[in-house]
Amino acid sequence: MESPLAAAWTRIAALAARPDARDIAARFAADPERAARLTWALDDLSLDLSRSSIAAPELAALLALAEAADLGGFRRRLFAGEAVNATEGRSVLHMALRVPEPPHLHAHARASAWDQACADAVAERARMRRFVAEVHAGQLRGATGQPFDTVLNIGIGGSDLGPRFLCDALTQVHGPRLAPHFLANVDGHAFAGLARTLDPARTLILVASKTFTTEETMTNAAAARAWLAAALGEAAVGAHFAALSTNAAAVGDFGIAPERMFGFRDWVGGRYSVWSPIGMAVALAAGWERFAAFLAGGHAMDQHFRTAPFAENLPVLLALAGIWHRNALGAASLCILGYDERLRLLPAYLQQLEMESNGKSVALDGTAATHPTCPIVFGAAGTDAQHSFMQLVHQGSELVPVDFLLAAEPDHDRHDAHDILAANALAQAEALAFGRDRATVEAQMLAAGADAATVAAVAPHRVFAGNRPSTMVLFRRLDAFTLGRLIALYEHKVAVQGCIWGINSFDQWGVELGKVLARDIRPLLAGRETAARAPTAASVARLRALRMTT
């Protein structure tokens, strides 16, 4: 006899096997009110799933799947601070980083895991706020007495992608308080290019590494330290560096004073860390008010996810749509299109969030996962994407679901440009859903004066099959609060999908092997060792030969 979870998956498979499982146009023909029925909102933020092939039977089956996977129990354990990151024995409480700051919040010996996490987060946030205020007021200055006008964030992965995305998004309209720059790639060209543009006397450098041992970050930090010391002297290091880390000994050895170290607990995973002191560059560049609004937006989504019934819960519904596309329809990728220039780095941010979290093939019990998991995530800003990869999304041989994100009101006065932008987003979604059949193509070509032979030869290439699903996320304005809601929406979506797939969304062991092997290969490149697997040895030999001939 099937378990309830297996039975729920069987029901999904049966619905997917129906002849009309992908027919979006038929769904609209059967239900003219479909757009209203399949749109849910949290204040001004709405989620519209009507351009998918999900209808009442599919939605009911997906919600039953969530119940069978004990999503309710998972949600309770998550917010209670239980070790839902089972392979590392850790809680996952990054949501505590964005709680408000009530005056009574403090830790005590009998505090719950959640209360303790909130108290820790509030205390460290207060230290951050004082530091940001002192930098902005000119109370903290560089070694030459000049105020800082630039912040350089040195990190990689979650210590780079989140701050980079948010600084870009939140400073385009109002301009930065401090000009933000980022150094992630260990390739020496990256810092060489930055060093030519920065004034060391006016640059504040943040080294963002929880352990203060990440090889790429610490290599770049050492290069920045040497650059600064060469320009201003070794004694200047302490005035120009701050650490976003928990390794006090290593931070001190680097030359950074304890009062300039801002930490966070092990329940903060790297890809969830922009809410923590890792977001320091955001607060320095965009201002504390916007960073606080970003946190408030995340908290608002947390409260919604924590309390709303699954049938009205935006992260759950977005996750279930993704389950339908990935597991029922076999879509192996997901396209993210933010129709706003300020969302141009969102796809890169979501790549780590989704693929590092759910790019797993092993279930929590150590056996092989029974269903395909995370899709490949890619994307760009609209309308740019329409002139690059959208050809494949419309007419390629693979099904690629799309998430569209669009604001109703721009933060500029060119409303004609925003209307063109919005029209393009809606048109792309309509074209994907409904396509264009051959009869329509032929009629249009004949009306334009094409002869019958041309019509016969060209018409097949101009047919759009349609029935390609998309999700529409609309909101009033793209401000810091909305960005917080959006990122938290996707965070919880990822966690829900991990629960349903039966995998751990919060570890990232796949990142480790390459790092270990790189440490072994470095001596080979220097000629100090010779033992290596044949293809690696051959590549090393070729690289060394090329070095010797230049």
Residues labelled catalytic:
356, 387, 515
Longest Cα separation, the chain: 84
Residues ≥6 apart with Cβ < 8 Å to 317: 40, 47, 49, 310, 311
| Backbone phi and psi for residue 181, each to the nearest 5 degrees, phi listed first | -135, 155
Rounded Cα gap, residues 249 and 11, in angstroms = 55
CB atoms within 10 A of CB 372: 13
Does residue 86 contact residue 92 with C-beta atoms inside 8 Å? no
Strands 45-48 and 470-475: antiparallel
Yes or no: say if 490 and 301 are a contact pair by the CB < 8 Å rule: no
User: What is the distance between the alpha carbons of residues 350 and 241, in angstroms, rounded to a whole number?
Assistant: 29
Closest CA to 38 of 302, 303, 321, 305: 321
* CA proximity to 470, closest of 47, 51, 62, 58: 51
Burial class (CB in 10 A: 0-12, 13-18, 19+), 145: exposed
- Please name which of 322, 332, 366 lies closest in space to residue 490, comparing C-alpha atoms: 322
The SS3 call for residue 436 is strand
